[in-house]
Amino acid sequence: MTISDEQLNAYVDGELGAEDTARVAAAIAADHDLARHVAEISALKVALPQIIPGTPDINLARKNKGESLGFATPSFRIAAAAAALMAIIVTGSVSYTMFHDSDLFENAVAVHDIWTKRNTADGHYVRSEDLGVFAALNLSSAGLMLADRADLMLDGYQAVRLSFIGSRGCKVSLFAIDGIPNLSSNHENNRNLRSQSWKTEVHTYLLLGYGMDEARFAILAKALSQFSETYDPFNLHVEQRLASSRAESAPCNA
């Protein structure tokens, strides 16, 4: 009688029919090695569930709309663009508000601060394939070049940071947050900090930067909020507004 390893494992797993089960059981009873091997398989089967860490708290209410901001694959880009388009269809437009809330905002500011204190002019290379839905985002008309991209968690929310640096000292970070948290902050004590946020149905965006002319910052935020609706490149009108607002404003480090 020949018992294959597959059959022996299936026997332990209770996957054999009655006839085969009886046949394997008889073989095991008559063969010490076979019996020992069945014991080994059974021991593994019992032990394996114990090696998995305990399940952490999964907050199902945290975010129930939208995709992860993984941005890693073309399929996700399509899904995210579709989600954004759906948001526009449903809501008519993205909501666009000044932004004021606590921990998440403060964390984002801290992340931006850390980035600005690094040597941001070291030519950090951002791979185009890592940009996902932001591949078409080009702020060169605003005098800003993409300098860094990072995945991060902000107060429990998955997010992506895109940081831009300008030729006149401006440094701004765009946070794309996977979810729709309630935001507020008390950053009025730092008048030099500019911040603006907006939401689609599935994502929250936050733009941060220090020292930028208020009107220029507002135009930049408006352009980015429009971009977040479709992820399409800016049209000529937007490009011109970004360029003129830069030309008309003082440098960020003035």
Copy the structure tokens of residue 90. Answer: 């449903």
| Main-chain dihedrals φ then ψ at residue 81, nearest 5 degrees | -65, -40
Q: Which range binds other proteins by CB under 8 A, 7-15, 94-102, 211-219, 244-252?
A: 7-15
Q: How far is the CB of 118 from other proteins (least distance, A)?
A: 22
CB closer to other proteins out of 55 and 182: 55
Q: Is residue 89 a contact point for other proteins (CB under 8 A)?
A: no
CB closer to other proteins out of 27 and 108: 27
| CB of 122 closer than 8 Å to CB of 145 | no
Q: Which of 68, 91, 140, 192 is close enough to bind other proteins by CB under 8 A? A: 68
Q: Is residue 25 a contact point for other proteins (CB under 8 A)?
A: no
Residue of 232, 224, 233 whose CA lies nearest to 198: 224
Q: Is residue 48 a contact point for other proteins (CB under 8 A)?
A: yes
| Main-chain dihedrals φ then ψ at residue 106, nearest 5 degrees | -65, -40
| CB of 252 closer than 8 Å to CB of 210 | yes
| Main-chain dihedrals φ then ψ at residue 97, nearest 5 degrees | -135, 155
CB closer to other proteins out of 73 and 192: 73
Q: Is residue 182 a contact point for other proteins (CB under 8 A)?
A: no
Q: Is residue 47 a contact point for other proteins (CB under 8 A)?
A: yes
Torsion angle of C-alpha atoms 29, 30, 31, 37, degrees rounded to 10 = -10
CB closer to other proteins out of 175 and 217: 175
Distance in angstroms (rounded) separating the CA atoms of residues 22 and 79: 52
- Which residues contribute to the site for other proteins (CB under 8 A)? 1-6, 8-10, 13, 15, 27, 30-31, 33-34, 36-37, 39-53, 55-56, 58-60, 62-68, 70, 72-73, 75-76, 151, 158
